[in-house]
Structure formats: C-alpha cells, structure tokens
Amino acid sequence: MPANLPPMYFEAEKRFRAAKSPQEKIEALEEMLAVMPKHKGTDHLKADLRRRIAKLAQAAQKKSGPQRASMVLEKQGAAQVVVTGLPNAGKSQLVAAVTNASPTVAEYPFSTQAAVPGMMEFENIQIQLVDTPPLVSGSIPYWLPHMLRRADALMLVVDLSNGPLDQLLEIFMHLEEMRISVGAQAGAAEEDSRWMQQKALLVGSKADLVNDREREAAGDALRAELNGLVPVVTISAASGAGLEDLRVKVYEALSIIRVYTKTPRGKPDLTDPIVVPRGSTLEDAAEQVHKDFRARLKFARVWGSGKHDGLMVRRDHVLQDGDVVELHI
C-alpha cells in the first residue's frame, strides 16, 4: 500500500536535513509523524521515524551527562500520562498517592529534577503516570517537550490555594512555546502542522488547603476558562479526597476501551483485557491479539454491544467498553 505522503511531510523532512541540533532534528521528525496519514502503508515508516527519534534522544542524553534524565521513557501498561505543572503545584504528592512511584515530595519547589514513572491501577488495568520537573521559563529540560508530545495524555496540575486560573494560563503559555495544544487551544493545531494536539485532564490539587466555597469557585473558574473541552477534577493527595474520581477521569480522558476475548465454548478472561482507542472496530481488536489475526479473521461473535449476545458481527463492527469477542480465523 502506498504511503501517499502530503507536501507538509516533505517540508518537515527538509527541515530535518537542515537541522543542526538534536532537538531541532527531533522536532522535525515529530512533525513528520504528526502529518503522516494513518494507514497500513505508513506503519513501517512510522516505526523507522520513532527509532530515529529514540536514537537522537539517547545520543543527546549521553552528551548531557549522567545527571540528566532521559527523554526516552518506555511506555508501560494501558497508556502513558505525563504529569506537568508549575513549581510546588503538588504533582509529586499526587503521583506518590495514586501509584507505586516514590518521587521526592517536599514543601519547596523544584523537588522533581527527573522524570519519575509509576503505575496507577484503574479497575483491571494499569496506567503509567510520569512525574516531571516543573515548567519554568528558561529552565525546561531539553527532553521534556518530546515527552509531553509523545504521551497518550497530559495531566495538568494547579494548586487550588495559589491562583489556580493564573497557573493554568501560565501552563498554556509554556505548552504554546512547545507547540502543544489542549482543549481551548485546539485551533492552533489545525492552522500549523507542527503543533501537536494532546488529550488532557486538569487537576486542582491541595483541596485540603481551601474551604468548600473557595474550592467550588476555583473549579467553576477553571471550567469556564476551558469551556468544557478539558475535564476538571479537584483532589487532595494529603487527605485522599477525590483520588478515586481522578482515576475514573484519567481513564475517560484517554478515550480508550477494554475488550475481552474468549475461545469457543470457553469463558472470557476478565482479568487481562485488550486496550484499544475508543471507536475501534473488531478488526482493530483482532490485530491487537495477534498481528496476523486481522488478515486471517473469518468471523467473530460479540457479547455486549451487539443487538443480541453472541451475535455474529462484521469486521467493521464498532466495539464498546466491556465487550467480549470470540474470534474465528
């Protein structure tokens, strides 16, 4: 299948060849990935570009010395969510409260100097959260923009006790400098192919430091600014308030679903689902089971989203969260 690459791809390729620094080369490669059509004909090219990005990042890391964190952090679990915000917003305390990670938690800013991953449980899947250094003009690590662009979603954290709306606007400023758009900024990504549009969730932290009226007022102001385009949740990592709601909101923000498989006359394994993007079809799920299943699939039965349980469905049947599929090849 031909790749059918658009003119914007070749423009980015020219910028890559003219780039001098690893960061400029990585940005050009990321743009090539962003504008590339999504079909089977580009799979090999996508994999090659990702390998080149990883190689450049690793080379930059070696040059920067052992004290610098790597910008290449392998994704684990169902998805990777990168946590970002201003100094002392409560990012590390949040990550420590909902994952198995042990980031440095302190009352002073800049306690996080590297990317710290941890796994957050949501029902029967694991989602990787990554704590990162704070966003500060002139002090953003060279690897952070790439990590934010590569993540499956971003968690933007603001301190409810310290001008949360101003913090949100400053976060948007930093993201804009990295050509990353979320929610209300989505229009920028449509006008310039070099922009990356990211899924996001806004978390108002340190709810224990404000009263109910202040918390509600802050939440309303943040939702109004975001115009309903980014979900908002308020939490207290210290008291545990809102953490279960946070898990649900993270899962929803990722726009993924869980699909279970079964063998003929067998019972479904409800402990190890296939995780696919919302809107995925039966053949998308079949490919997740095994790369050859998509081509070899004869028919399938679905329990859950079909009109009748066990009904035979076509390859283009759109799956729903919790569906059970029985694949016949």
- The total domain count for the chain is 3
**How many Å apart are CA 85 and CA 172, to the nearest integer?**
10
Q: With pLDDT > 70 as the criterion, what percentage of the chain qualifies?
A: 85
**How many whole angstroms from its chain centre is CA 313?**
31
Q: In this predicted structure, what is the pLDDT of residue 192?
A: 60
**CATH number for the domain that contains residue 228:** 3.40.50.300
80: phi > 0 → left, psi -120 to 50 → alpha, else beta; which? beta
Q: How many CA atoms lie within 13 A of 141 on its CB side?
A: 24
pLDDT at 108: 45
Tokens found for residue 276:
């696919």
pLDDT at residue number 48: 86
Residues 218-244: pLDDT tens digits? Answer: 999 999 999 888 999 999 999 999 999
Each residue's pLDDT tens digit, 23-45: 788 878 877 887 777 777 787 88
Regarding whether 264 and 244 lie in a shared domain, the answer is no
Same domain, 230 and 110: yes
Domain check: are 30 and 50 in the same one?
yes
Which residue in this structure is represented by tokens 């918390």? Answer: 215
Structure confidence by residue, pLDDT tens digits, 47-97: 888 888 878 877 766 665 544 444 567 888 999 999 999 999 999 999 999
State which residues form the domain around 249. 80-254
Has residue 276 been placed in a domain? Answer: yes
Task: Let me know whether 224 and 204 are in one domain.
Answer: yes
With respect to residue 179, please indicate whether it lies within any of the assigned structural domains. yes
Residue 75 domain-assigned?
no
